[in-house]
Amino acid sequence: MMHGFRKSCGQNWANHLPMNVVKELMGHADISTTAKFYSAVSKEHEAHTQWVTDVIGKTAICVVQSRSTKTGRIRISR
């Protein structure tokens, strides 16, 4: 049970923190150990990546449209 809790914490950290930070938190001597166990890409990661890409794309389009009007204002529409 404790190993499952440790693995869950490690994966949660890996989802949000740089790998070198996770290495330290997990107490691994070598970053390759951390990468081996916590660098998997899940379906949730893929979905989040798609969402971020969509948001960035929409924001970039809004910025270009705003600059083309020469108002100097950036409007983000949803």
Q: What is the pLDDT of residue 75?
A: 54
pTM of the full predicted structure? 0.53
Residues of the chain with pLDDT under 50: none
Task: Mark whether 45 and 78 lie in a shared domain.
Answer: yes
Q: What pLDDT does 29 receive? A: 96
Structural domain for 6, as ranges: 1-40
HEC string of the chain equals CHHHHHHHHHHHHHHHCCHHHHHHHHCCCCHHHHHHHHCCCCHHHHHHHHHHHHHHHHHHHHHHHHHHCCCCCCCCCC
Q: Are residues 49 and 25 in the same domain?
A: no
User: Are 67 and 52 within one domain?
Assistant: yes
pLDDT of residue 52: 80
Q: Are residues 20 and 53 in the same domain?
A: no
